[in-house]
Amino acid sequence: MKRRNTPTKAAVLSLLAGADSAMSHDMLLEMLEDSVDRATIYRILNRFCADGVVHRVLADDGKQYFALCEDCAQQTEHSHNHFHFRCLTCSRVECLGTEVSVNLPSGYRAENFNGVISGVCSRCG
């Protein structure tokens, strides 16, 4: 199933590229110019994840946030082992630069990393 280029896909990608923080589904829904169906946005985001274009963060507010893969994609092995910070005041979710390495007990194989720290960011502090 080869991907096709659609206006909505392009618009979502451009929003993610222009954002300085990870975006949730409803943020995108709100920011998109022409009205798009909710399900469509979910599907576009899921495709982006599958294609390694964005990574998904499940935050502690129970919502998924999506961020364009940038630094994480430039690893030798594309991994998303970095934390995200969610501000309880302004509700921005941002990637925290440094990759973290967790050493698991022997015999454990890591497949996915999901690290979120919530608190108050500097601009809301």
Partner DNA sequence: ATATTATTGCAATTAAGTCGCAATAATTGA
Partner DNA sequence: TCAATTATTGCGACTTAATTGCAATAATAT
Min separation Cβ 2 and its own copies, Å: 28
Report if residue 77 touches its own copies, rule: CB under 8 A. Answer: no
| 49 labelled ligand-binding | no
Report if residue 42 touches DNA, rule: CB under 7 A. Answer: yes
Report if residue 110 touches its own copies, rule: CB under 8 A. Answer: yes
| Residue for token pair 């500097």 | 122
Structure tokens at 17: 């590229």
With CB under 8 A as the contact rule, which of the stretches 9-17, 29-37, 42-50, 105-113 interacts with its own copies? 105-113
Looking at residue 46, its amino acid is: N
CB distance 94 to 79 below 8 Å: no
Contacts of residue 82, Cβ cutoff 8 Å, sequence gap at least 6: 71, 72, 95, 96, 97, 98, 99, 100, 113, 115
| 72 labelled ligand-binding | no
Pattern of binders to its own copies over 7-26, x per CB under 8 A? --------------------
* Nearest residue to 54 via CA among 36, 41, 38: 41
Report the site for Zn ion in 105-124 (rule: CB under 5 A). 121, 124
Q: Give the total of residues touching its own copies (CB under 8 A).
A: 30
Structure tokens at 80: 């998303």
Interface with Zn ion by CB under 5 A: which residues?
Answer: 87, 89-90, 121, 124
Interface with Mn ion by CB under 5 A: which residues?
Answer: 55, 69, 72, 80
